[in-house]
Structure 1
Amino acid sequence: MNMRSIGLIGGLSWESTALYYQTINREVGRRLGGLRSASITIHSLDFEPISALQKAGDWAAMAGLMGRAGRRLAEGGAQCVLIGSNTMHRVADAVQAEAGIPLLHIADALAAAILATPVRTVGLLGTRMTMELPFYVEHLARHGIRCITPDEAQREAIHRIIFGELFLGQVRPASRERLAAIVDSLVQRGAQGMVLGCTELPMIVRPEDSPVPLFDTTRLHALAAVDFSLQDMAHAVPAQA
């Protein structure tokens, strides 16, 4: 059996899209050996107008834009669709409906990884929308996972680092220290694990920056895509956490 084709809505930002592409292809090569790489189509969007829609809170326009991207991936032969962003899963249902192929939800991949451990209460780091709008926290709650979010000043700092630095490919030591301090404060409030709930955060937050387990949503989502792609190939080696 051939591998199934993965469709990725990227550019949200392209920095994390590159992480997805690298992780997926390296994992396919690891599991299949030789010179194997993924069957993957990327529809990379221009993030500037999407950022403007986010600031305006125009989720209907974003749903339409993202849905059309999902449909084009399906028309191009993709057999599943991934949204390469935690925040844009706010419109996941619209993308699923428009694409008409399975949507692999980033929070489902995250929940599966958390539930494989004793952790049930996590700190959530992400964009302001991911931390403040209910869609993400409620999705995890349906899996029995409780989220602790940073306070207002901390949320503002994280959002600024993501949009003002990481989206531009900048990783600053002072920002890493600020994020590590926020992680520590969430642990003091009862977090047993820490969710990197923005696909750019793995660029700056490392395992050694957290006293509790980190859950890297970018990697977990990418591995879920590989699982889907290779599930009919019995000779593929198992996944690794």
Structure 2
Amino acid sequence: MRKIGLIGGLSWTSTARYYQIINEMVARAKGGLHSAPILIESLDFADVARCTSADDWDCASGHLIGAAKRLQQAGAEALLICANSMHKVFEAVESSVDVPIIHIAEVVGDKMQADGIKSAALVGTRNVMTEKFYRQRLVSRGVSLLPPDMGLADRIDRIVYEELVLGKATRESERFMKSELTDIAKEQVQAVVLACTELEMIVDVKANVLPIYDCTTIHAKAGAAFILAE
């Protein structure tokens, strides 16, 4: 099996989920006592969040570049950035190492394209919902996206940064997301892209009217597929 590196801590709650999904997939594929060869560089999210809060993305990319280089030096043959929002600095991180980095929006877009999805709602934190770095990769695969709902983006930001990254999943936030997804299902879209790695903590991705493309699971499975590839 090939070894993969995770740039994690963005937050620790979603990084733990990546580790679980990858190992579950490898165990099913290999059987017995097999588990996945994984390196994890778990950053201190407080340091990265200070950069992004100040809109200093060069500062943020510096943290990720350092992590990427350390993972490559330790033997990682490919990398995952375990956060949707931090793919804003994907190109800077990618250019700093010689191993491939699997882009979360690209693997999600590939799956949607394969499934014949032509229209969707993108749900995540503010920068993911509003900025081109993420949306364009889905649009390039033939997926038309609803305009961003700024009220929803602001509420998700509060839920993510005040609750989910701390490991808290409240009933109030679960009810809010269920209501929002029910409203989105009334729009002329075929699916919802759950583009925040923590949101699956409060969204039952299998119990909605519309198909939910859970980016955490899709990205982690792409990492497992890399590990298992001959």
TM range (shorter): over 0.9
**Partner of residue 84, structure 1:** 82
1:62 to 60, 63, 70: 60
1:213 aligns with 2:181: no
1:102 aligns with 2:69: no
1:172 to 159, 165, 170: 170
**Equivalent-residue separation in structure 1 for 2:178 and 2:137 (angstroms):** 25
**Partner of residue 238, structure 1:** none
Structure 1 runs (4+) greater than 4 angstroms displaced? none
Relative to 1, partners in 2 of residues 1:209 and 1:177: Cα closer, same or farther, differing over 3 Å?
farther
1:183 to 181, 194, 197: 181
SS at match of 2:189: coil
Q: Structure 1 unaligned runs (5+)?
A: 233-241
CA offsets per residue over residues 51-105 of structure 1, 9 Å max, x none?
A: 1111111111111221111111000000001000000001111111112100101
- The normalised TM-score by structure 1 is 0.92
**Partner of residue 111, structure 1:** 109
Amino acid at match of 1:101: V
**Equivalent-residue separation in structure 2 for 1:120 and 1:71 (angstroms):** 37
SS at match of 1:124: strand
Q: Structure 2 unaligned runs (5+)?
A: none
Native 8 Å contact 1:150 1:186 kept in 2: no
| Alignment root-mean-square deviation, CA | 1.2
CA offsets per residue over residues 139-189 of structure 1, 9 Å max, x none?
A: 111111122254222211111111111111111111111112221222222
The number of residues matched between the two structures is 230
Native 8 Å contact 1:150 1:182 kept in 2: no
**Equivalent-residue separation in structure 1 for 2:229 and 2:57 (angstroms):** 34
1:148 aligns with 2:146: yes
Native 8 Å contact 1:123 1:186 kept in 2: yes
Deviation at 1:31, TM superposition (A): 0.3
**Partner of residue 220, structure 2:** 222
